[in-house]
Amino acid sequence: MTAHIIRRLFYMLIILFVMSIIMFTFVSLKGDPVAIMLGQSADQQTIAKIREQLGLDRPIVVQYLDWLSHIVRGDFGQSYTIPMSTLDVIFQRLPITIELTIFSMFFSLLVALPLGIVAALNYKSKLDIFLLEFSIVNLSMPNFWLGILLIFLFALKLKILPASGYVPFTSSPVAHLKLMILPVLTLSLWYIAVFMAFIRSTFIEVLQSEYILVAYSKGLREKRILWLHAFKNTLIPLVTVVGVNVSSLVGGAVVTETIFSLPGIGRLFVDSLFGRDMPLIMGIVLLTTVAVVVVNLMVDIVYTWIDPKIRYE
Amino acid sequence: MQTLMACLFLSSAFTFAQEPKPTRGGTLRVGWVTTGKTMDLHKSVQWAERHVLYCIYDNLVGLDESFNVVPQLATSWENPDKMTYVFNLRRGVKFHDGTDFDASVVKWNIDRLFEPEFASPQKQLIDQVTSVEVLDKYKVAFRLKKPFAPLLAALADMAGFIVSPSAVKKYGDQKFAMNPVGTGPFMFENWMPQVQLNVKRFDNYWGKDQGKPYLDRIEFREIADPLVRQTMLKSGELDFITDIDTKEALDLQKEKFRLIKTSPPLRWLALQWQVDKLPFNNRALREAIACGIDREAINKALYYGEAMAASGPVVPGLWWYEKDFKGYSYNPELAKKKLAEAGYPNGISFRFTVINQQSFVQLAEILQSQLEKIGVKMEFEMVNRTESYARVLAGKTNWTMTNWAQRADPNGLLAILFHTNGLGNSTKYDNPTVDKLLDEGAGMYNISERKKIYHEAVRTITMDAPYVFLLYFPDWAGMSPKVHGYKWIPDAIPRFSFLWKEQ
């Protein structure tokens, strides 16, 4: 197990290195951040001066090596677009996206698990078809549209929730949580659909497998069969799906964070791309890569815990 | 024009009838447009940052609703000779950190702006200044390279803001961006970029004798999505929003929100191209397109009649606007003739760069259908809003659309865009006659003489068509019915010191 983790972390370093070269090249090729920073008051003299100050007048390779030498020493640099250091910004924003992700995952599993199992147990019944239709509607609703609909309903019509904005947990926990409800709901509905469809099909498959038939023929009680045998075997593929989706949530959060004005990492990343904020882009890419690798590693570990047959040499 | 006058009259009548006496106190929640990057005004370039900068800082001179330069930190000024401006400064003004404002502070600010290593984007506005001299504690002289009438307007703009020297020394240039200190009506409180910036009333503000500012606090909440901003105004979570499409503004107005537009409209909307490159170095082609656009139709479709057809790069209401000059107007027959003259009797297709934002895309589609009728096909290329101007300036975009707000002196915008050496001359327009007129105009102190010069320059520029001027369109501010006292200054930047909120 330890060897497995060490090997994974070693691969991560290689991935990070390759990623950084690719990102750095692409962002540099896309053009100059200084003209964008200056907007309509840009003039060639000032552009040249600021380029020089940021070291953008040097060849890309030199710029990259310079960046790398700082990163190795843990110096992520100063953001071009936000008057803070790159790490300060990222660590200010990361908790918000993590909170959004955890709440959304938790909520969607909470809803999807019972619904998926109920659908599977009532395979091909009216209820099953209704639940399937429900998930198809959810899946085909774009995030931004759903978000606006929810704002319209809860903030404008019912007036029970705030439309958008952000309050840190430390300044007012109640206001903070109230503001998280709509974004979590927006993100969750899609995942509920994904997870429910997945749980349903896996559960149906498991119910038709031989060991379940054996269990029935032994005369075990249905409750015991469902919970001990069927449910446990649905979990392994489910953990994989959840793991994959946790890392894709960072991408899904971009739209949600923009609509609800949540200052998370997704929105920060989009803004940094538009502003060609190289230190910030690179910082976010590196840290999210680490996060994805760590989540996958955790999924691996959870496997061994759910299924003792799985071992890493 | 008649409808415009009627609107003007109606809106002013409306304000008079509604305006009760100002009361003090309350928090104004503003839907802030984009992400601010710095609160150091000597480094600031983002439009939205100015909404806050005008709360925290004061200029040497200010602007009123008719774009006149009025006293602010300077109480009066004179030209002892054409190469010098002498300003008498307001006494007893304090910065938020307790520092006294005097002549040495003014000199320190301008020197900071001119420091080569500091690379302030504001420097270009007052390039003609050679030095600032302290005459006595409250008297300061600006020495010029050559006579330069636009100096006052530049000092009312980003170049004339005054920051606290002791605060800059205390925090250093980089940290000052997050810890701004000025003499303005509101003090900086705190800021979480991309979330919210708060300012609170400065009790020692020099305008306090008139009771200003009225508000206790302003919260600038960064809300990126325009639809969400409008919804939050409706749900009562915001008190004040800007950057509203005309259609949305009219909808809000129907729902009893207070909507105030810039009247007359303050921005011009135009097409631009590179006049030194194929295919638009062909004057007849430019004329054909300028004549092929039905401006009134765009006004009706996109602005519900709230905009006006544009005659040139000057909006009505400014002293250098010429009422009798009409520029190009819709004439499809002439447009077809010109297109044939340009060498395209059978029509032609060009790439047109569209800013990836709903209002611009809609405009592009209307233009496309209009120009198709005269034989010009438009192929769209989309570009992101944040990088569109950088691309135009770098010459990577040939034909696109643009809009500019006004500055308080004709030289401000005209010299930047149309002088051969203009800093924003992205069309590569090069006309020695225009250069000469603009240079002359900048060096004159007599308004009626300057007026003649700029009328001639604007006529020449418009007919040469480096830009095709389409419309003058209004900016809208939407506010809750409890908010009173709002006025637009023609630079289209909201000011909050005279605004108050019913409790």
CB atoms within 10 A of CB B217: 16
> Could you tell me if A267 lies within 8 Å of chain B, comparing CB atoms?
yes
B179 in any annotated domain: no
> Could you tell me if A164 lies within 8 Å of chain B, comparing CB atoms?
yes
B432 in any annotated domain: yes
Q: Which two tokens stand for residue A211?
A: 């060991």
Cα–Cα distance measured from residue B52 to residue B54, given in angstroms and rounded to the nearest whole number: 5
Cα–Cα distance measured from residue B48 to residue B55, given in angstroms and rounded to the nearest whole number: 12
> Could you tell me if A39 lies within 8 Å of chain B, comparing CB atoms?
yes
Shared domain check, B232 and B331: no
Identify the three-state secondary structure at position B113: helix
CATH 3.30.2130.10 at A94-306, yes or no: no
Residue-by-residue DSSP string for A291-302: HHHHHHHHHHHH
pLDDT in tens, chain B (503 residues): 444 444 444 444 444 445 678 888 899 999 988 767 889 989 888 888 899 999 999 999 999 988 889 999 999 999 999 999 999 999 999 999 999 999 999 999 999 999 988 888 888 888 899 999 999 999 999 999 999 999 999 999 999 999 999 999 999 988 899 999 999 999 999 998 888 899 999 999 998 877 789 999 999 998 888 888 998 999 899 999 998 989 899 999 998 899 999 888 989 999 999 999 888 999 999 999 999 999 999 999 999 999 999 999 999 988 999 999 999 999 999 999 999 999 998 888 999 999 988 889 999 999 999 999 999 999 999 988 777 888 888 888 899 999 898 888 999 899 989 999 888 888 999 999 999 999 999 999 999 999 999 999 999 999 999 999 999 999 999 999 999 999 999 888 999 988 999 98
HSE-up (13 A, CA, CB side) for residue A275: 23
CB atoms within 10 A of CB B398: 19
Residue B223 Cα, gap to closest chain A Cα (Å): 6
According to DSSP, the β-strands at B217-222 and B27-32 are: parallel
Amino acid at A230: A
> Could you tell me if A162 lies within 8 Å of chain B, comparing CB atoms?
yes
Shared domain check, B439 and B382: yes
Look up the domain containing B84 and give its range. Answer: 58-172
Residue bearing the bigger pLDDT, A39 or B318 = B318
Contact A187, A253 (CB under 8 A): yes
Cα–Cα distance measured from residue B417 to residue B425, given in angstroms and rounded to the nearest whole number: 4
Is there a contact between A259 and B123 if contact means CB atoms under 8 Å apart? no
> Could you tell me if A170 lies within 8 Å of chain B, comparing CB atoms?
no
H helix or E strand, kind and range, residue A52: helix A44-54
Identify the three-state secondary structure at position B358: helix
Shared domain check, B487 and B461: no
Amino acid at A227: W
Shared domain check, B415 and B374: yes
Handedness of CA A264, A269, A272, A274 (dihedral sign): negative
Contact B287, B336 (CB under 8 A): no
List the single residue in A148, A159, A260 with the smallest CB-CB distance to B235: A159
Shared domain check, B193 and B162: no
- Number of structural domains (chain B) is 3
Shared domain check, B276 and B213: no
> Could you tell me if A171 lies within 8 Å of chain B, comparing CB atoms?
no
- Residue A312 CB burial class (10 angstroms; 0-12, 13-18, ≥19): middle
Shared domain check, B193 and B160: no
pLDDT at res. B483: 94
**Cα–Cα distance list, A251 to A11, A37, A196, B93 (Å):** 23, 25, 21, 51
Shared domain check, B396 and B301: yes
Cα–Cα distance measured from residue A297 to residue B325, given in angstroms and rounded to the nearest whole number: 72
Shared domain check, B403 and B308: yes
Q: Chain B: residue nearest A89 by CA?
A: B193
CATH classification at residue B350: 3.10.105.10
Residue with tokens 């395209």: B344
Residue A196 has pLDDT above 60, yes or no: yes
Listed residue (B404, B128, B394) closest to A44, CA to CA: B394
Q: Chain A: residue nearest B36 by CA?
A: A82
Contact B222, B12 (CB under 8 A): no
pLDDT at res. B19: 60
Residue B30 Cα, gap to closest chain A Cα (Å): 12
List the single residue in A43, A81, A263 with the smallest CB-CB distance to B192: A263
**Cα–Cα distance list, A164 to A98, B235, B482 (Å):** 18, 11, 21
- Chain B contact set for A263 (CB, 8 A): 192-195
CB atoms within 10 A of CB B427: 24
> Could you tell me if A251 lies within 8 Å of chain B, comparing CB atoms?
no
> How many contacts, defined by CB atoms under 8 Å, are there between A and B?
133
B178 in any annotated domain: no
- Whole-number CA gyration radius for chain B: 23
Residue A274 Cα, gap to closest chain B Cα (Å): 6
pLDDT at res. B56: 95
Contact A76, A279 (CB under 8 A): yes
Residue at a domain's end among B172, B196, B226 = B172
Is there a contact between A38 and B227 if contact means CB atoms under 8 Å apart? no
Amino acid at B289: I
Residue at a domain's end among B124, B141, B172 = B172
The phi, psi pair for B30, rounded to 5°, reads -105, 135
Residue-by-residue DSSP string for B403-464: EE---SSHHHHHHHHHSTT-TT-TT----HHHHHHHHHHHT---HHHHHHHHHHHHHHHHHH
Is there a contact between B232 and A260 if contact means CB atoms under 8 Å apart? no
Residue A232 has pLDDT above 90, yes or no: no
The answer to whether the bond into B213 is cis (omega within 30° of 0) is yes
pLDDT at res. B11: 45
Cβ neighbours for B188, distance < 8 A, ≥ 6 positions apart: B39, B56, B96, B179, B180, B181, B197, B199
- Chain B contact set for A45 (CB, 8 A): 124
Q: Which two tokens stand for residue B496?
A: 């909050």
pLDDT digits (tens, 9 = 90+) for B356-372: 888 899 999 999 999 99
Is there a contact between A46 and B116 if contact means CB atoms under 8 Å apart? no
Q: Which two tokens stand for residue B380?
A: 């769209």
B17 in any annotated domain: no
pLDDT at res. B269: 94
Q: Chain A: residue nearest B195 by CA?
A: A263
pLDDT at res. B431: 93
Shared domain check, B480 and B467: no
Parts of chain A belonging to CATH 1.10.3720.10? 94-306
Shared domain check, B329 and B223: no
Is there a contact between B47 and A268 if contact means CB atoms under 8 Å apart? no
- Whole-number CA gyration radius for chain A: 24
Record the pTM. 0.85
Shared domain check, B440 and B393: yes
